[in-house]
Structure 1
Amino acid sequence: MKITEIKSCFVGPAISPEQFIAEHFFLFLAKGNMNGYDGNRHYTLKAGESCLVCKNRLARYNKVRDNGEFEKVVLLFDEAFLREFFRKYNPPLSAHTPKDAFIRLKKDTLIPAFLLSLEPYYTGSGSINPVFADVKREELLLILLQSDPSLSGILFDFGIPGRLDLEAFMQKNYKFHVSMERFAFLTGRSLSAFKRDFKKIFNETPNRWLIKRRLQEARFLIEEKRQRPTDIYLDLGFEDLSHFSFAFKKEFGVPARNL
């Protein structure tokens, strides 16, 4: 079986649909492309490439089909699995801990061989036989650490985010559609402390400030950059076009399409 013939497969617990990465996961693209953004950089992953998507990061990504096809392999490295792996193998920890959400992995002949080895375990549900799931995740992790030992400093960091500059963080990440609990966690605060500090800094509730900030950016993009509402509302953190259109008209008194 050729590497480009690999079918979509998912191994491990489910991934949250939020624009927040709660657990590390390995991603390989067999067909299509993927575009990602983490607030700092834009990333593109092409067919035949793989990356590690890192936890406790805000990120969004979208798939681009190739002739109508998009095939990926995802293996989730949740904390419980990683703690057990660390206890079993006690790998040396690297001091190098990149802040990027997407880490492109080096080309390694063992990765394609590993991916092909999953085929006998495929089930009809787009996963592999759960009896072998941890064994295969362990095998992949050994390959990744052998190829790039610096990944250990990322994968086996079980700490929680430290306290950050709230104003700078929110001005940088207001476009991401995540819960207040996630924003609080990422800035090193309890939810109550996050809301209290937010009120002191912005003199506004988090929900109201986020909507107003996103709408201000939307107006700038439409008036100054001549972009269409249909092209920007998702990137600005709105769930659907109707919600964006209603909020925009309520805030500015005119429909977005009329600017």
Structure 2
Amino acid sequence: MDFQIQYLTPDIKLSSYDDKLFKTETVFEYHMLVWFISGETRIIQADKTYGFKAGDIFLIPRNHLATIINYPKDGLPHKAVVMHLTTERLKDFYSTVDGQRKTGHRETSIHHFSSHPLLSSCLASLIPYFEMEGTLPENIAHLKITEAISILREIDPDIDCVLADFDEPGKVDLISFMEKNYMFNMPLERFGYLTGRSLSTFNRDFRRIFQTTPQRWLTQKRLELAYYHLSEKNKKPSDVFLEVGFEDLSHFSHAFKKQYGFAPSLAR
């Protein structure tokens, strides 16, 4: 896979690759503002799937599980400008904002801004810097990120509920969280963090509640979801295994046959 990342600063980067697809399951530590130059992306969250194409701009909130599948398209690589809106920088920004900012419940959905001209202009203005040698001076990077935050607040009056939420995940109901997020193939440490637990506490609570190990329960739930997509939605195994949390098709096929006694292709 020809995958390249060019950083202007630790918080501003240009990513590009031209292989068939690139899939990752992640929880972003910071809010991610993304502008697509070319290619397509599918982002799968617990309750919704999003599709984005060239020209789209969107914000992915931090600390929420997502499966991201990126594709080149029309002979062009998947290419995007990404800006990290870190908690530290956002705290600095809001410390200078006059008046009351909006607060509310923790937002989990992705915010799509289509090809908004103000945001497009702000992010497109970074392209010449990627073509120059050296790094972007911090004062210019600060101005660019501040401009992006200011535009977001101008075009979305409710965005403060996302950007000004500086809380870390608290302890949540384990059954509800796992039933909603089991299809994300994340390390158990990350599941623990997002449920407000250390790894040892997560394992102990999980065994007490579910009467089995996390890995066994996760595999069982992912196979059940795969069976539903194959038999009820008439999907192909190659279209299902990534969405339900498996890393490769052969592993998925082996686990599915062991569970159900027949190959996933026969479930259709």
TM-score range, shorter chain: 0.7 to 0.9
Structure (1/2) with the larger helix percentage: 1
Of 165, 176, 180, 2:173 maps to 165
Does structure 1 retain, via aligned residues, the 8 Å contact 2:43–2:49?
A: yes
Of 37, 58, 63, 1:56 maps to 63
Map of 1:1-259 to 2, 5 A cutoff? 12-13=10-11, 17-69=24-76, 70-89=78-97, 92-97=100-105, 99-105=107-113, 108-123=116-131, 129=136, 131=138, 132-259=140-267
Give 1:98 shift. Answer: 5.8
Unmatched segments (≥5 aa) in structure 1: 1-7
TM-score in terms of structure 2 length = 0.80
CA distance in 1, matches of 2:145, 2:259: 49
Q: 1:107 to 1:29 in 2, by over 3 A?
A: closer
Q: 1:206 to 1:130 in 2, by over 3 A?
A: farther
Q: Please give the per-residue CA displacement for 1:13-70, whole angstroms capped at 9, x wherever unaligned.
A: 489x542222101111233333222111222223322111100111123234431223
Give 1:108 shift. Answer: 4.4
CA RMSD of aligned residues (A): 2.9
Residue matched to 2:21: none
Q: 1:161 corresponds to which letter in structure 2?
A: P
Q: 1:43 to 1:224 in 2, by over 3 A?
A: closer
State the secondary structure of the residue aligned to 1:141: helix
Q: 1:90 to 1:106 in 2, by over 3 A?
A: farther
Give 1:184 shift. Answer: 1.6
CA distance in 1, matches of 2:219, 2:48: 23
Aligned residues: 250
Does structure 2 retain, via aligned residues, the 8 Å contact 1:29–1:73?
A: yes
Give 1:117 shift. Answer: 2.1
CA distance in 2, matches of 1:200, 1:35: 36
Does structure 1 retain, via aligned residues, the 8 Å contact 2:25–2:184?
A: no
Q: 1:204 to 1:26 in 2, by over 3 A?
A: same
Q: 1:24 to 1:100 in 2, by over 3 A?
A: same
CA distance in 2, matches of 1:9, 1:141: 22
Unmatched segments (≥5 aa) in structure 2: 16-23
CA distance in 2, matches of 1:113, 1:219: 45
Structure (1/2) with the larger strand percentage: 2
